[in-house]
Amino acid sequence: MTGVFSYDLAAQMDAACEVLRNGGVVAFPTDTVYGLGADIFNEKAVEKVFAIKHRSPALALPVLVCSTLQMNRVAATVSGLAHLLMKHFWPGGLTIVMPKASAVPDNVTAGGDTIAVRMPHHDVPLTLMDKLGSPLIGTSANVSGNPSPLTFEDVETQFGRHIDFIIRSNTCHSGIESTIVDITSGVPVIIRHGIVPDDAIQNVLSHL
């Protein structure tokens, strides 16, 4: 792993951000599980995420944002339905599938025209994105098919030294992956059950 190791979180954050700026891949805690991140606008960095995870390039990668500004950089349109779900569940454990902005590299979305976006409720990824000035890939930090990790030790066990930097801060809050809802058809469809209960989403939608 590159960068100067320190258990001081602020120092780790600075080192991680430098790695990301240079096209590296960083593992970090989130409010769900440990995540694996790279600058989504750096196609070579995105390719490294696929390689590290042994993930098929035919499977799109989810994206994290820290602000409305970043949201507008990754989504072509943000509908009223999207704003409603964001108001109730962001920051938090809901991933929303929306139309992809043209500036997002095709390898992020496996050539598709939609993108899965979430704003996490965790200071580490939010601060990283703010410092970097860019959204991040936000996939779970596991080898595809393996359990999603909850600690940096789990990440190290799965990847060894194949990741450029691991933020060592075991502060994942839930240990449960995000719920994913696809709103691209105009009719919300829950495509993965996760930390946000289905009935909580249905309750919000019932007020439309």
Question: What's the pLDDT tens digit per position in 71-111?
Answer: 999 999 999 999 999 999 999 999 999 999 999 999 999 99
Local structure of 111: helix, strand or coil: coil
Mean of pLDDT values over 162-177 = 90
**Radius of gyration of the chain, Cα coordinates, nearest whole angstrom:** 16
Which residues lie closer than 8 Å to 22 by C-beta, 6 or more apart?
A: none
Mean of pLDDT values over 118-136 = 97
Mean of pLDDT values over 18-43 = 97
Q: Could you tell me the domains of the chain?
A: 9-205 (3.90.870.10)
Up-side HSE of residue 72: CA atoms within 13 Å toward CB?
A: 3
- pLDDT beyond 70 at 2: no
pLDDT value, residue 137: 98
Residue 184 near residue 196 (C-beta atoms within 8 A): no
pLDDT value, residue 172: 86
- pLDDT beyond 60 at 165: yes
pLDDT value, residue 160: 83
Please tell me the pTM assigned to this model. Answer: 0.94
Mean of pLDDT values over 118-146 = 96
